[in-house]
Amino acid sequence: MTLTEKILARAAGKSSVQAGDNIWVNTDVLMTHDVCGPGTIGVFKREFGKNAKVWDRQKVVIIPDHYIFTADSLSNRNVDILRAFAQEQQLPYFFDVIDDPNGLWKFDTTKGLLKKQYGANYAGVCHAALPAKGHIRPGEVLFGTDSHTCMAGAFNQFATGIGNTDAGFVMGTGKLLIKVPETMHFRIEGKLQPGVMAKDVILHCIGEIGFDGATYRAMQFDGPGVASLSMDDRMTIANMAIEAGGKNGIFEFDSRTQEYVENRTRLNGTKTAFTPAEVDRDQKFVYETVINLDQLEPTVACHPDPGQRKKAKELGDVKLDRAYVGSCTGGKTSDFVEFARVLRGRHVTIDTFGVPATPEIVHDLQTTRWGDQTIWQILETAGVRMTENAGCAACLGGPVDTFGRMNLPGLKCISATNRNFPGRMGHKESQVFLASPATVAASAITGWITDPREYVAN
Ligand code: SF4
């Protein structure tokens, strides 16, 4: 069996399953956020009764992160709905924006968009927060009301996005009927070269198969090259399985996975036991390819979809209006480190926005020093508008006052985010070019899409 089949068989209590089987699986964690949480709660109450209890309080994780730092009152209210539900159900894992359990969330626009406005429990973007807060374990099943839930596949987990109706059902029963996906095999060999990042790996893969090339399929990444990829790298790759239509992305388990998960579960006092899925000799794939990391070059997905692959060096005639680093895919500490490595001692020439995915990443960047400056200061000195309000921000547009949102037609943005369908980051006539943080940095310096390797080498 493939990694995905092994995990699903175990979750269904079966000795084996194969692609195409329809099976009931038990859920290890259900995650929801401020956009889909209220709808999920509505379905749950409608179907199970207004006094119903969730199937397992320890397994429901609620992380507001999407439309948070906005004066939009309906978005603010969504966070309040989550708080009321978490209190009613006595959920231990609700990562509230504010500290007062009886308070109401309101974003104070008079304080501006850059200074932090959240309390001690706020966790930032759900997919980055889940592993960091100890809720991801190898071999388990995660359902989340968000398409990029597949990011947790980096940790050898079966993780996939589901809709509010399914999530309401999981909330009441802990189970879900799913079809076992076919598996596509991406064997990773070699090692990334300077200036080439994990983002380039997944943009390359999506370019190979198209933005619908993995529709309802698992994308399995294994092979000797995986060992050289950090957990952040693997998260970037698994995160974008959905950008090829994938049901899930999944990595083999190794000592790096083990170290990360053991560390984070202990740190947060969450469940530490897990049983990873090991790679079998006997696996059936519907597609097989080898990705040689040594041969990859800085890659860009052009407007209007993540499958529009080009090399950065071929796009030097694309004039940009802005640059953006952030999101679950591209707003991790390692992403900002590579962003800063290119920008250090240089200055951007176009509007450039930096949105860390989580408060912990803000802290990392504000405390890690390179010489006499922190990474945060290096980026600010280079002209990047860095916000402490970690969250999804303009990755998906959001309300009109969202930090970094593209509010005008015709704007072209190079972005370390994961999705670039028309209107994704705001105005439906704006254009988004997806790239690695290193490519975003080099492009922010020149104002044109730029291969970052000459900046990394110097
Ligand atoms: S950062 Fe972007 S892709 Fe990630 S969860 Fe938020 S909106 Fe979705």
Each residue's pLDDT, cut to its tens digit, for the chain (458 residues) gives: 999 999 999 999 999 999 999 999 999 999 999 999 999 999 999 999 999 999 999 999 999 999 999 999 999 999 999 999 999 999 999 999 999 999 999 999 999 999 999 999 999 999 999 999 999 999 999 999 999 999 999 999 999 999 999 999 999 999 999 999 999 999 999 999 999 999 999 999 999 999 999 999 999 999 999 999 999 999 999 999 999 999 999 999 999 999 999 999 999 999 999 999 999 999 999 999 999 999 999 999 999 999 999 999 999 999 999 999 999 999 999 999 999 999 999 999 999 999 999 999 999 999 999 999 999 999 999 999 999 999 999 999 999 999 999 999 999 999 999 999 999 999 999 999 999 999 999 999 999 999 999 999 65
For the chain, the helix, strand and coil percentages under 3-state DSSP, each to the nearest 5: 40, 20, 45
Distance (Å, whole) CA 332 – CA 236: 9
Mind giving me the DSSP string for 296-312?
---EEE-TT-TT-EEEG
Ligand 1 midpoint to CA 218 (Å): 20
CB 417 within 8 A of CB 327: yes
Indicate whether 21 belongs to any domain. Answer: yes
Give the C-alpha separation, 140 to 160, whole Å: 11
Specify burial of residue 16 (Cβ count, 10 A radius: 0-12, 13-18, 19+). exposed
Q: Which of 26, 4, 1 is nearest to 15 (CA)?
A: 1
- Residue located nearest, by CA, to atom 6 of ligand 1: 392
Residue 357: both structure tokens together: 């995915």
pLDDT digits (tens, 9 = 90+) for 259-287: 999 999 999 999 999 999 999 999 999 99
**Residue 201 falls inside a structural domain:** yes
Q: Rounded distance, CA 36 to CA 146, Å?
A: 8
Is 330 in contact with 236 (CB distance < 8 Å)?
A: yes
Q: Which of 153, 177, 201 is the last residue of a domain?
A: 177
Q: Separation of 228 CA from ligand 1 center, angstroms?
A: 26
Q: Tell me the torsion sign for CA atoms 277, 19, 168, 123.
A: positive
Structural domain includes residue 216:
yes
48 and 152, same domain (yes or no): yes
> Which CB contacts under 8 angstroms, 24+ apart, belong to 289-292?
289/185, 289/186, 289/187, 289/205, 289/208, 290/187, 290/189, 290/223, 291/186, 291/187, 291/188, 291/189, 291/201, 291/204, 291/205, 291/225, 292/189, 292/190, 292/225
CA of 329 to the centre of ligand 1 (A): 8
CA R_g for the chain:
21
Q: Are residues 326 and 411 in the same domain?
A: yes
Distance CA 369, CA 391 (A): 23
* Number of structural domains found in the chain: 3
- The protein residue with its alpha carbon nearest to ligand 1, atom 2, reads 395
Does residue 211 share a domain with residue 158?
Answer: no
Range of the domain at 26: 3-177
Same domain, 433 and 413: yes
What is d(CA 375, CA 383) in angstroms, rounded to the nearest whole number? 13
Q: Which of 418, 424, 432 to mutate to test the pocket of ligand 1 (most atoms within 8 A of CB)?
A: 418
Compute how many other C-beta atoms are within 10 angstroms of the C-beta atom of residue 104.
11
- The pLDDT value recorded for residue 458 is 52
For residues 138 and 229, membership in a common domain is answered with no
Please indicate, yes or no, if residue 276 is contained in any of the structural domains. no
The arrangement of strands across the sheet holding 309-311 comes to 309-311, 299-301, 431-434, 412-415, 322-326, 351-355, 385-386
Task: Give dist(CA 19, CA 271) in Å, integer.
Answer: 30
Calpha distance 411→350 (Å, rounded): 12
Minimum-distance ligand 1 atom for the alpha carbon of 331: 1
CB 336 within 8 A of CB 365: yes
Residue 286 sits in the same domain as residue 216: yes
Q: Tell me the C-alpha distance between 172 and 188, whole Å.
A: 40
Strands 217-222 and 248-251 turn out to be parallel
Is the domain of 173 the same as that of 185? no
Q: Which of 395, 403, 419, 432 to probe ligand 1 with, by most ligand atoms within 8 A of CB?
A: 395
Domain presence at residue 150: yes
The last residue of a domain, from among 177, 209, 231: 177
Q: Is residue 109 part of a domain?
A: yes
Distance CA 95, CA 124 (A): 9
Which of 177, 204, 239 finishes a domain? 177
Q: Give the angle subtended at the CA of 11 by the CAs of 156 and 55, to the nearest 5°.
A: 110
Q: Which residue of 32, 69, 95, 125 sits with most ligand 1 atoms within 8 Å of its CB, as the best mutation to test the pocket?
A: 125
Q: Is the same domain home to 55 and 165? A: yes
One domain for residues 133 and 16: yes
* Type of residue at 244: A
Same-domain check for residues 312 and 422? yes
In the block, tokens 């990562």 appear at 95
For residues 27 and 166, membership in a common domain is answered with yes
Beta partners for 189? 292
Q: Is the residue at 449 inside a domain?
A: yes
Strand 351-355 relative to strand 369-370, pairing: unpaired
415 shares a domain with 351: yes
Read off the CATH number of the domain in which 378 is found. 3.30.499.10
Q: Could you check whether the bond before residue 437 is cis, i.e. omega within 30 degrees of 0?
A: no
Q: Which residue ranges have their beta carbon within 6 Å of ligand 1?
A: 66, 125-127, 146, 148, 327-328, 392, 395-396, 417-418
In a domain, 275, yes or no: no
Structure tokens of 143?
């359902």
